[in-house]
Amino acid sequence: MMKLRRDIFQAISDPTRRAILVLLTSQAMTAGAIAENFDTARPTISKHIQILNECELIESNQQGREIYYQIKIDKMKEIDRWLEQFRKIWESRFSQLDTILSTLKNEKK
């Protein structure tokens, strides 16, 4: 059976997974330490961690008996590059809106 590769955008669509990524921005953490931040069963958090790991948004490093998870900045940059195209559109539209509002404001004077 062929295993489907998970999509990074599906991974970040879940609020719990986004919260895990935010937690890992400050430091590497064990699954137990991550789970302590949620009111969810530990196996559920482990599944979220597995999905993030499969999408290569995080990586695991074994230190003794513990496995520490940390964010993979390169994959986060991939998301940022994809979003950049939309950022340019938003900025252009906001700029156009500023021009319209300024024109309307000047017409009222």
Per-residue model confidence as pLDDT tens digits over 57-71 = 999 999 999 999 999
Does 37 have pLDDT greater than 90? yes
Domain enclosing residue 102, as ranges: 73-109
Q: Report the C-alpha gap between 32 and 11 in whole angstroms.
A: 20
Q: Residues 71, 34: contact at Cβ < 8 Å?
A: no
Q: What is the pTM of this model?
A: 0.74
Higher-confidence position of 96 and 31: 31
Q: Please check whether residues 37 and 56 belong to one and the same domain.
A: yes
Q: Please check whether residues 61 and 108 belong to one and the same domain.
A: no
Contacts of 20 (CB under 8 A, 6+ apart): 34, 45, 48, 49, 52, 58
Q: What's the number of domains the chain is made of?
A: 2
Does 3 have pLDDT greater than 70? no
Q: Please check whether residues 14 and 65 belong to one and the same domain.
A: yes
Q: Please check whether residues 77 and 105 belong to one and the same domain.
A: yes
Model confidence at 5, pLDDT cuts 50, 70, 90, reads low
